[in-house]
Amino acid sequence: MTSPMQPAFDALHALLGDRFTTGTSDRALHGQSESHFPDMPPDGVAYPETTAEVAGIVSICTAHGLPVIGWGAGTSLEGHALAPHGGITVDFSRMNRVLHVSAEDMLVVVQPGVTREQLNEELRATGLFFPVDPGANATLGGMASTRASGTTAVRYGTMRGNVLALEVVLADGRTLRTGTRAPKSSTGYDLTALFVGAEGTLGLITELTLRLQGQPEAVSAAVCAFDDMEAATQTVILTIQSGIPMARIEFIDATFVRVFNAQNGTDMPEKPHLMVEFHGTTQSTREQAESFGEIVTDMGGSAFQWAERQEDRNRLWKMRHNAYYAARAQWPDVHAMTTDVCVPISKLAQAVTETASDIAQSGLPGPILGHVGDGNFHVLLLPDRDDPAQIAKANALAHRMAERALRLGGTVSGEHGIGMGKLKYMDAEHGAGWDVMTTLKTALDPQGIMNPGKLLRQT
């Protein structure tokens, strides 16, 4: 029996040869995620190499009414890149070239499949770097699509501020260029900003122009411990309010410290910690460290443990970036659920401590960490995979976190996005705004083929 999709498959084969496949293993791979969702494989996977091929794929899918799902590195955490309605996954791994570096204009043009580690590797000799730094080695196309941020957003901003221009293939197969290489512009609707964070529901990004930063003359990093969460989070609040231009200020709770010690052989005291980094001139990083140190002392924090050498700093941030995998290794039989909220900085201490006491009451493991300089923190909820009561408890905890964030004037996701996991909060956060999103979506993708099942109201 041939599939009703066979004509579309034939057209895709004609376009891409063996770079289009309906093979089981490719489909299975693109049906998995880092999230707690069950597998949802697509009907086929395409590996384009050019924008023209992407436009061809989308045109074929439009003609046959098939869903089109972009795939970067598949590290998103709310089921963003799964295929709940089947369709064709467009894997950007073969569009992974850095096309142009302009050191004079501090910008770079990349294909969407370039990963952040690859990009910074290729930039090393230029004295420039791309600052946005989610823990995972995500792609730039994926990071733009989830409006990602990470450890350095407190200083350098998120993908929102660091994407200067895009090339996008729309649902009708048209190719669009948004933005220019000028640092700013005031010529009409900000289409770049519309596609950043759209989770592939409005089009596929085929090229990105990104702002770069100069590698700082001096970098220093340190950790310090606090007796309780309240003291650690108050330190963050005071630091941000005092305007110290922190390059990184990360919170990890005592549970995560225990995990780090177990997995990395470190001997950090099992207390809440801040991990920080300063960027600037030798003089200005010293000034920053002194000002920050005064706040830490006032709040009863420990002396800094400095990571002096580049390799010590790399080890420190690698440990931070691997926190998620380290915790999963520590609790292997769990149904791991990460959740991400963001609150106004003045509400950070309240949000974190209320969350922590909620978790303590539940009896579940639920280590907390976060990019707290932005008021952004995550909990990794770890209910027993085979215990529905524990899973229900974890869901209730995540739910209360989201509600608390909204109550405190914040948002249900600082950086991970909506995907399928947070659809249930869109109404509460946006009200009429969610309907406006649907109006825009329908205008640009009337058939609803671009990543259906995500971000928008499900009808």
Ligand X SMILES: Cc1cc2nc3c(=O)[nH]c(=O)nc-3n(C[C@H](O)[C@H](O)[C@H](O)COP(=O)(O)OP(=O)(O)OC[C@H]3O[C@@H](n4cnc5c(N)ncnc54)[C@H](O)[C@@H]3O)c2cc1C
Which residues between 285 and 314 bind its own copies (CB under 8 A)? 287
Binding range to ligand X, per CB under 6 A, among 37-45, 76-84, 292-300, 307-315: 76-84
131 binds ligand X (CB under 6 A): no
User: How many of the other CB atoms lie within 10 Å of CB of 394?
Assistant: 27
Is 147 a binding residue for its own copies by CB under 8 A? The answer is yes
For residues 15-54, which are near ligand X according to CB under 6 A?
A: 34
Burial 131-154 (b: 16+ CB within 10 A, else e): bbbbbbebbbbbbbbbbbbbbbbb
Alpha-carbon span 63 to 61, nearest angstrom = 5
Q: Write the interaction track for ligand X spanning residues 132-151; mark x where CB under 6 A is met and - where it is not.
A: --xxx-xx-xxx-xx-xxx-
Q: Which does 104 bind (CB under 5 to 8 A by kind): ligand X, its own copies, none?
A: its own copies
The answer to whether residue 25 forms part of the interface with its own copies (CB under 8 A) is no
Q: How far is CA 430 from CA 79, 347, 351, 436, in A?
A: 21, 20, 20, 9
Calpha distance 444→456 (Å, rounded):
13
Instruction: Please identify, among the stretches 1-9, 21-29, 118-126, 157-165, the one whose residues bind its own copies according to the rule CB under 8 A.
Output: 157-165
Which of the stretches 1-9, 65-73, 249-257, 440-448 binds its own copies when contact is defined by CB under 8 A? 440-448
**Within 13 Å and on the Cβ side, how many CA atoms surround 47?**
14
Indicate whether 458 belongs to the interface with its own copies (CB under 8 A).
Answer: no
Closest approach, Cβ 450 to ligand X, in A, equals 8
Shortest Å, Cβ 279 to ligand X:
18
Residue 72 lies near ligand X (rule: CB under 6 A): yes
d(C-alpha 163, C-alpha 154), whole Å: 16
Helix 310-321 with 323-330: angle, nearest 10 deg: 50
Return d(Cα 19, Cα 16) in angstroms, integer: 5
Q: How many CA atoms within 13 Å lie on the side-chain side of 241?
A: 12
Span 369-388, contacts to its own copies by CB under 8 A: 374-376
Residue 241 interacts with its own copies (CB under 8 A): yes or no: yes
Residue 248: C-alpha distances to residues 136, 239, 317 (Å): 17, 12, 10
Q: Does the protein bind ligand X through residue 152 (CB under 6 A)?
A: no
Q: Is 109 in the site for its own copies (CB under 8 A)?
A: no
Of 202, 206, 175, the C-alpha closest to 449 is: 202
80 binds, among ligand X, its own copies, none (CB under 5 to 8 A by kind): ligand X
Alpha carbon 301 to chain centroid, angstroms: 30
With binding defined as CB under 8 A, does residue 50 bind its own copies?
Answer: no
Count of residues of this chain found to bind its own copies when the rule CB under 8 A is applied: 86
Nearest distance from C-beta of residue 156 to its own copies, angstroms: 12
Structural contact between residues 453 and 84, judged by C-beta atoms closer than 8 angstroms: yes
Applying CB under 8 A, does 353 fall inside the site for its own copies? no
For residue 364, the minimal CB distance to its own copies (Å) is 25
69 binds ligand X (CB under 6 A): yes
Residue nearest to ligand X (CB): 142
Q: Binding of its own copies at residue 210 (CB under 8 A)?
A: no
Smallest distance from ligand X to CB 286, Å: 28
